[in-house]
Amino acid sequence: MSTDLVIRPEDTNLGFENADARDLMLPRIVVLQPVSKLVAMGQAKGGDFLNLTTGKIYSGSIEIVPVQKILQRLKRQEAIEGRPPDCRSLDGVTGDKYGACAECPHAKWADRVPPACSEIILYPVLVPGEDVPASIGFSRTAIPAGRDLFQKARFRTPQRPLFGSLFRISTELRSTPKGTWYVPKVTLV
């Protein structure tokens, strides 16, 4: 008697019927900043990339294949570690607490003060050599890089789907009187 499981294509969704966006949290890859704990402990350098789930550090740059562009918004509560967001919009249009993002006062600039609610460009990505997909988000000073990635993929010749493009993301150091941080730089490979 064989113990091999026979799976029909129509059965591949069994057990996943009640899943929604909250159940599909991909590991996030983030840029390590000069104030990051791993940088302060000497285990990584500022500008490196970190997979928050696996702990893997990508030194200097990372290659990715973006699968889709997703617009979101997020308003954080006061800076207390571990507190959930005050409001989140998984579609960039409607927040779960304050409603329509376009009308929300937390999403607007006021006298050169950035909004409390940040726009996020999120890309689910494949990382060559990794078994599990991940996600990379671009917000605040990284928004231009998130838009640049999309434009480079969209207007490349010959045209192909977004997931038909390989990108290398590295970082550049930025400084102002308010601080020093790394921003992503996107290159089509």
Q: Percent of the chain, pLDDT > 70?
A: 94
Overall pTM > 0.95: no
Tens of pLDDT, residues 91-120 = 999 999 999 999 999 888 888 888 889 899
Q: Which two tokens stand for residue 39?
A: 């940088």
- Where does the chain have alpha helices with state H? 37-40, 143-154
pLDDT tens, residue by residue, 33-53:
999 999 989 999 999 999 999
62, 137, 180 from 43: Cα distances, Å: 18, 23, 19
Q: Are 13 and 21 in contact (CB under 8 A)?
A: no
